[in-house]
Structure 1
């Protein structure tokens, strides 16, 4: 006879359900300083910390009102919207030549995609149990590189905004007070055809999103380089014309710059 074969298990129906053991929570006093009950101990602490930050955030919004721009004007074609501050580092990335123009896919999809994918898979890439930074040089190095990159790109984007350019080149020109623009010149026709008027104005007076070109300190060569590679809030890859047209337009704008023959 094999072991267990033919054995029967029986129970006593007289044992009441009330005598069965209930699901009693573990006595966490047996593990002092090592663990605690999620409810209500741990959850209460989390709620208290969250309340402090929430109250502080509400206080800041009451003390310092959020900056608001002018009322939206759908007829203003010179307005270029900027992203919120937490996306400025991505906006700044698109100003560089290697991430704009023909390489726009690299700046908008590939580089951000690799960065955010690395954040998602980080727990699986570094599975070490050591918590001291000195013992995890690879993980700490990548973390510091990411933080410094975001901070630098955000700072650089703020430093190269429109108003920095305006203060560097002079205030916006008031229509009617600047030199008369020769709208029949070939350079102006190229300037208009390239949609530069949308930001810099029909009289090179500048706008809400771009500085004035009248009185600019840039030379014709520098203007041509900016038209191709961008500067500040002006992204690269805006120019869509021949080299001859680029030279003609740059010389036309430079003629109204500081010391230019048409800036009288």
Structure 2
């Protein structure tokens, strides 16, 4: 700005030396020249996505805290009654691997190829489907494939869980986490609680531990489940053989070995294959009938 000494002289501006006021408000970029775009990705769109992700994460945390994951007994590789089940979001893959065309000789197809195609297609979808149309009914191919995937995953998940429940009924098995919870409720309120099956079996001793039949027992298939000390694993549905003589006679025990009982399959032929003779199995049954609490 330049002027002379006279007060009534006209002011002449040279350039614009005024300081502009700063504003904290972000002025949205003009996307009128770019059809289909309405805002910048960073930070506008990304901030919205982040806020939605936070809400979803809080919801998941609330569900986890309100309904904690069920806990069973410690892992026991000798428990033949346990039915392994994956988490619910993998049930569809678990069921898929039961079919002949994705198991046995084709297991690579079910474990590698099919998941790779499914998840790979999901990852590549934004790059393969580059159309600007956002309404699902205007994108028939992408929408049809997604609906088909959702229906297939839902169907396989429901069928997998149905088969699991049917297997539990057929084998008369109570899931470990339910059994453990029932035991906790049964022991609750009792002073010191009630001793578990393992604790009770520890109070009993093996009868005639120096009997030659005891060595034959260790060579039999029985030891894999019931253990060398006959304690079994009651928590997993495998009863202890300590004190079994008070419940079963020699003939009864031989009948269980030959015909099975409950979840136990017949073990007579399996022991013969292991090299035991009929006389050896008879001695084992006689020795087990001597296992009495007295």
Map of 1:35 onto structure 2: 39
- Aligned counterparts, 1:51-200, within 5 A: 51-76=54-79, 78-161=81-164, 163-168=165-170, 170=172, 180-181=255-256, 183=258
Q: Shift in Å at residue 169 of structure 1?
A: 6.2
Q: Which has the higher contact order (CA 8 A, sep 6+)?
A: 1
Which residue of 2 is the match for residue 255 of structure 1? none
CA distance in 1, matches of 2:68, 2:169: 25
How high is the TM-score relative to the length of structure 1? 0.50
Residue of structure 1 in register with 2:262 after alignment: 205
What residue ranges of structure 1 are gaps of 5+ in the alignment?
1-23, 189-202, 207-211, 215-264
Change in CA separation of 1:99 and 1:31 when aligned onto 2, cut-off 3 Å: closer
- Cα deviation, residue 77, structure 1: 5.0
Is the contact between residue 94 and residue 100 of structure 1 (CA under 8 Å) also seen in structure 2? yes
Q: Distance in 2 between matches of 1:136 and 1:44?
A: 27
For residues 116-174 of structure 1, what are the alpha-carbon distances to aligned partners after superposition, in whole Å with 9 as ceiling and x for unaligned? 2222322333222222222211111111111111111111111111x422325656899
Deviation at 1:64, TM superposition (A): 1.6
SS at match of 2:145: helix
Give the length in aligned residue pairs. Answer: 167
Contact residue 81 and residue 173 of structure 2 kept, 8 A: no
The CA distance in 2 between the partners of 1:37 and 1:120, in whole Å, is 20
Q: Distance in 2 between the 1:54 and 1:165 partners? A: 35
CA distance in 2, matches of 1:174, 1:76: 7
Offset, 1:88: 1.2
After superposition, the Cα gap between the structure-2 partners of 1:109 and 1:47, relative to the gap in structure 1 and judged at 3 Å, is: closer
- Measured in 1, the distance between the counterparts of 2:118 and 2:157 equals 16
In structure 2, the gaps of 5 or more residues are: 1-23, 175-236, 240-246, 267-294
**TM-score normalised per structure 2:** 0.46
* Cα deviation code 1:42-95 (max 9, x no counterpart): 565445433333333232222222211112234435535322221111110111
Q: Does the 8 A contact of 1:28 with 1:37 survive in 2?
A: no
| Change in CA separation of 1:138 and 1:204 when aligned onto 2, cut-off 3 Å | farther
**RMSD (Å), alpha carbons:** 3.9
